[in-house]
Amino acid sequence: MLIDVVFEDPRWETAGLSALADAAAAAVIDHLDLTPPFGDGFEISLLACDDARIAVLNSDFRDKPTPTNVLSWPSEERAAEDAGSDPLPPDDPELGDIAIAYETCTREADEQGKEFSTHVSHLLVHGVLHLLGYDHIDDKDAALMEGLEVEILGKMNISNPYEE
């Protein structure tokens, strides 16, 4: 797995984002038992940014001019045809791009009483699943995606993020 991290906000380097991203992506790929095409590893580009930058991206791509925790852009459409079904495995090693915002992640972790690294790991698992074609627009898709997140995080010794 190759994760190319672009650090726009140096606080992410101090927080150990590269190691968290490597662990989260590997956990997703292992759990789904995916084999990279052509024998090469999968590739993800990760933008480690702040709230101001992610607000611009959220506005540009989702018409929501506010910060968010994580955004993802799959390199190709991978969604399943039927709600609640797994998407087809990727046939391209390049999975896509993820952006993650430091201030929002910090605020959410504090509000939820979670360790920062635990919350960020969850968001990275979430983002990688989006790159693989999973989403949460439909109730069936949301249940599938959340179930996968809980299973993957459990294997990482992270408790269910959806429990109160």
CA distance 106 to 117: 9
Judge whether 122 is annotated as a binding position.
no
119 in a labelled binding site:
no
Token pair of 132 as six digits:
């693989």
d(CA 133, CA 108): 25
Tokens matching residue 14: 């101090």
Count of CB atoms situated within 10 Å of the CB of 154: 13
| 136 assigned ligand-binding residue | yes
27 residue type, one letter: A
User: Which residue carries 């430091």 as its tokens?
Assistant: 102
Annotated binding-site residues for Zn(2+) read: 126, 130, 136
